[in-house]
Structure 1
Amino acid sequence: MNTLVQMSPWEALLVLGAFALVLVRWLPPRPRRPVTFGAAASVALSGAVLGVLGLRWQMVPVLAGAAVVLPFALSPLLRSARRRAPWWLALPGSAVCLALVAAGPATVWALPTPVFPAPTGRFAVGTGVLELTDPERPETATTAPDDRRTVVVQYWYPARKPPAGGRPAPYLGRTEHEARVVSGALADYSGLPGFLLDGLPRARTHATFGVPAADGAGRDGAGGEGGEGGADRFPVVLFSPGLGGVRTQNTAWAEELAGHGYVVVGLDHPYDSAAVVLSDGRTIRTEVSATGDDAEDERRAAAWTAVRAADLSFVRAQLGRIDSGEIAGPLTGHLDTARVAAAGHSLGGGAALQAARQDPAIAAVIDLDGFPHDPTPQPFRQPVLALTQAIGPDTDPEYLPKLTRVLSLSAATTYRLTVPGAAHLTFTDAPLYLPPLPSLVGSLDRTEGPRITAGASLAFLDAALRDGRGDPAAALSAYGALTVHRPGGS
């Protein structure tokens, strides 16, 4: 990703001016004066503008380097003697200031504001947020007797083209304030200083809040009916994020699916997700923690997975109310509630598998590198796509055997796709904004992980939820090493 693209024009001007100030000491005498004054003016102007618009932390070392070198660059031009420091003193000073200035674009490249790939489907993408409370289920994370389980969901859907001037939705929330709260919580959950992720609240997606749902066939690229409910109804994919993750953590994936005619519903799981901002302004932070005892941690993971599976089933049951208009919104009359898949990343993938076993109304499952934590796995009927990271010596040795056992319990054909160069976070938006370290986000290009995740998901969903799409094995094989589990053990 081009670093200059990630910097605003004023930031680029600041960096170029600071570099010029550092290098002016080594220019021939004739251009030294105009370059010095021009660079100093550029730094002063861009610094002042950025101070008003909002200074990103990546620009602080650039300003520091410019501030240190500025007196040494100007003083020879302002004194009649015009003496300069000897080269053997100036050289290390210039090197230090160059390093400070270079740290700006380097950190912009390593920790950029995410730029989401444009959806390739024929639909524009709309989005919205709902808060849903299950009156039948108590909230087990609190002691209040009247507290009922509440989840916050965000949905992405095929939409009409938004009006000119429509503002794209923020990445991590309904508002930039909510995005900053969630960004700080994600950094805290990861053990990072909050400022390292301050590009996330600045990010804008390709979705627009509240635009009308699309008219026309629900089947992307083809005419005919989009589902049993009619031509304007779209299949639904429920999504559970990873442990401590949030509903928007797979926005690039969700927008790509929505552009191809699916409604994606991402869940925040209170007391598990890093931060859940409720409509009354309260923020519920995660209470998830590891004990260091493997047996106890697995017991807790199984409990969290069970709660998430129940959340997925609850939201699936609410789709009828959303489609009927009982819960008002742009999706009224547009949901194909007979074609619903459950998907998830990491712990959310395990929850999707468990939800499918418990809820026969779920028609298919996508597990994005998720470890099954169901303590009593049982046969189930749905087809599954499991995407896994590249398996190496650091991979949990129980992961593949347990996943394979669960996949073999399905009465339908299941697929396990191992993506070369992938790491655990490859299947999320993380490659778009975290440093490109193979151990962290894999060795693929920043946008390649989200592209493969969405492409494989679409190939599977088109076969599982739409008629006439055939076996997805050939399409899936293009993305990595494919293992197919067919009923009967073949």
Structure 2
Amino acid sequence: MRRRTPGAEHGRVTENIAGLPMSPLEILALLGAVALVVARWLPPAARPRVTIAAGALLVPSALAPAVTGIRWQLLPVLAGAALAAPFALAPLLRGRRRGGRPAWRARWWLALPGSVACAGLIATGPVAAWAFPVPVFPEPSGAFAVGTRVVQWTDPRRPETFTADPNDLRTVVVQLWYPARKSPAGTRRAQYLGRTEREARTVSEALARGVGLPGFLVDGVPRARSRSVFDAPVAGGGERFPVVLFSPGSGGVRTQNTAWAEELASHGYVVAALDHPYDSAAVVLADGRTVTTETASSGDRGKDDELAAGWTAVRAADLGFVLTQLDALDRGGIADPLTGRLDTGRVAVSGHSMGGAAALQAARQDRRFAAVLDLDGYPHGPTTPALDRPTLALTQALTPGTDPRYLPRLTEALGSSTATSYRLTVPGAAHLTFMDGPLYLPPVPSLVGSLGRTESPRVVAAATLAFLDAVLRDQPGDPAGALRAYGDLTVHHPGGHG
């Protein structure tokens, strides 16, 4: 299949330049601030020109955020420029003294500490922008462009267990990523984290609260746009696409694995990712209500295990319900552009963290799932009946700080399977490597691993595709051979022979 060429994007001066953590306006402000600091130390003849040029750069870049919004990373740059301005402007404003002598300027021993302080403030800006950037999503490598849209479904058979209202039925919000036709040049890409920037900000702030961070630290995240296009026409040709359901981590949201979902969709899969209301950090419903998480640990290990098993069971039921809806959609029971294009006989269930545990439970309960993908998820809940579907568990590099129960529990789940299963430990990975976190969080190895912002999503998606292509598309060869390229592989054969 031919790899598609990246389409032209709808550019804005407020968007980051690819590979750089700052937008063009922010870079202009940075250059202007640096020029103001340097101006004090230039020869007298050059000083006025450099100062005027610095002002010309700073004024538009400082005024534009009043319209487009300002990122906190720019504040130290503007503060450094404000402190440097008196040193640079005073000689210019005073002109020349009588007799043609140069105007007074601050003594070097007074100006030097001020210049160093200003330079330190200004340098804080790009460092902060690098640590907390507006995420830049990788261009999908497959043959298809990617479309996305959001649906909301209510299960008439299940009451909502998180509320006391007996008439409240379980509702889930699902985002679909699917193979699409290439959109015209200039088509606006999909907002990350939500259908609108307002929804994205609501979700971003809820996610930040969930991990104890002030929301402003990650204010670049709701500004981001992914590589897919909302409501893009489905790819032509009549091909039926295998389906991958996805459940996010505890407190996670449907969009947390967008880079991964877009890569799978570009290779001919339909990915359906769920928001689990009252578990996900924030779920914006069709009527405008926002449902926030009500799950919280108690601090008691035994009680928390029981709570997690219950939450996992709800998620597993959500996954089964969504598969039923997708099957109805494909058959025409739900009017949709994807009708007749879903291969619901080839479906994998997947998840990250607690979502991985939910995927394992869903596969035990529902034989319609043909394969399981667990992205670093501890297997909560019962370990019976035995799994009888091929399973891939991707895990972070195990350290002394890893829960000592994790590996034995996972080994038990995989080892008792009646189908061949795989555990792939990815060197350099951390728990958040298996989601979009490396694209916008500080590159701290203990937090997001050491693979980097480019390699993290590539490795996780490539390993996933190697497994899915083998088990859902029956590509010839042993998937173990392909999986070994991405980490340390343990194969669990039926009958307990590893």
Matched residue, 2:13? none
Deviation at 1:307, TM superposition (A): 0.6
Matched residue, 1:111? 132
Deviation at 1:4, TM superposition (A): 7.0
- 1:49 is aligned to 2:64: yes
SS at match of 2:451: coil
SS at match of 2:310: helix
Structure 2 unpaired stretches of 5+? 1-15, 98-102
Q: 1:327 aligns with which of 318, 334, 337?
A: 334
Matched residue, 1:156? 177
State the distance in 1 between where 2:190 and 2:377 align.
28
State the distance in 2 between where 1:60 and 1:330 align.
46
Q: 2:32 aligns with which of 17, 20, 30?
A: 17
State the distance in 2 between where 1:4 and 1:389 align.
26
- 1:37 is aligned to 2:58: no
Matched residue, 2:387? 380
Matched residue, 2:370? 363
Deviation at 1:376, TM superposition (A): 4.3
State the distance in 1 between where 2:361 and 2:382 align.
10
Amino acid at match of 1:480: G
State the distance in 2 between where 1:261 and 1:420 align.
28
State the distance in 2 between where 1:298 and 1:111 align.
34
State the distance in 1 between where 2:18 and 2:217 align.
17
Q: 1:133 aligns with which of 142, 148, 154?
A: 154
Matched residue, 2:5? none
Closer, same or farther in 2 for the Cα pair 1:2/1:179, shift >3 Å?
closer
Give the CA RMSD over aligned residues. Answer: 1.4
Deviation at 1:249, TM superposition (A): 0.4
Closer, same or farther in 2 for the Cα pair 1:184/1:15, shift >3 Å?
same
Q: 1:307 aligns with which of 284, 293, 314?
A: 314
More off after superposition, 273-282 vs 163-172: 163-172
Deviation at 1:321, TM superposition (A): 1.3
State the distance in 2 between where 1:210 and 1:4 align.
28
Q: 1:450 aligns with which of 440, 457, 460?
A: 457
Q: Does the CA-based 8 Å contact 1:246-1:274 persist in structure 2? A: yes
| Cα displacement string for residues 144-168 of structure 1 (whole angstroms, at most 9, x for unaligned residues) | 0100110000010111112343211
SS at match of 2:121: helix
Amino acid at match of 2:289: R
Q: Does the CA-based 8 Å contact 2:416-2:496 persist in structure 1? A: no
Amino acid at match of 1:127: T
Matched residue, 1:223? none
Amino acid at match of 1:29: P
| Cα displacement string for residues 452-486 of structure 1 (whole angstroms, at most 9, x for unaligned residues) | 11000000001111123331101100001000000
Q: 2:247 aligns with which of 224, 237, 240?
A: 240
State the distance in 2 between where 1:78 and 1:207 align.
52
Q: 2:412 aligns with which of 394, 398, 405?
A: 405
Q: Percent identity?
A: 66
State the distance in 2 between where 1:312 and 1:184 align.
26
Q: Does the CA-based 8 Å contact 2:313-2:361 persist in structure 1? A: yes
Matched residue, 1:219? none
What are the equivalent positions in structure 2 for 1:62-211 lying under 5 Å apart? 62-79=77-94, 80-81=96-97, 82-211=103-232
Q: Does the CA-based 8 Å contact 2:17-2:23 persist in structure 1? A: no
| Cα displacement string for residues 346-381 of structure 1 (whole angstroms, at most 9, x for unaligned residues) | 000011001101111100000000000013432121
Runs of 4+ in 1 over 4 A off after TM superposition: 1-4
Deviation at 1:211, TM superposition (A): 1.9
More off after superposition, 19-28 vs 333-342: 19-28
SS at match of 1:6: coil
Matched residue, 1:418? 425
SS at match of 1:299: helix
State the distance in 2 between where 1:2 and 1:135 align.
47
Q: 2:487 aligns with which of 463, 480, 488?
A: 480
Matched residue, 2:9? none
State the distance in 2 between where 1:488 and 1:424 align.
30
Q: Does the CA-based 8 Å contact 2:87-2:111 persist in structure 1? A: no
TM-score by length of 1: 0.95
Amino acid at match of 1:476: L
Structure 1 unpaired stretches of 5+? 217-230
Amino acid at match of 2:77: V
Q: Does the CA-based 8 Å contact 2:179-2:266 persist in structure 1? A: yes
Instruction: Count residues in correspondence.
Output: 476
More off after superposition, 355-364 vs 6-15: 6-15
Q: Does the CA-based 8 Å contact 1:257-1:454 persist in structure 2? A: yes
Deviation at 1:76, TM superposition (A): 1.9
Q: Does the CA-based 8 Å contact 1:462-1:469 persist in structure 2? A: no
Matched residue, 1:228? none
Q: Does the CA-based 8 Å contact 2:18-2:136 persist in structure 1? A: no
| Cα displacement string for residues 46-70 of structure 1 (whole angstroms, at most 9, x for unaligned residues) | 2112322222111111111111111
- 1:351 is aligned to 2:365: no
TM-score by length of 2: 0.93
State the distance in 1 between where 2:38 and 2:186 align.
43
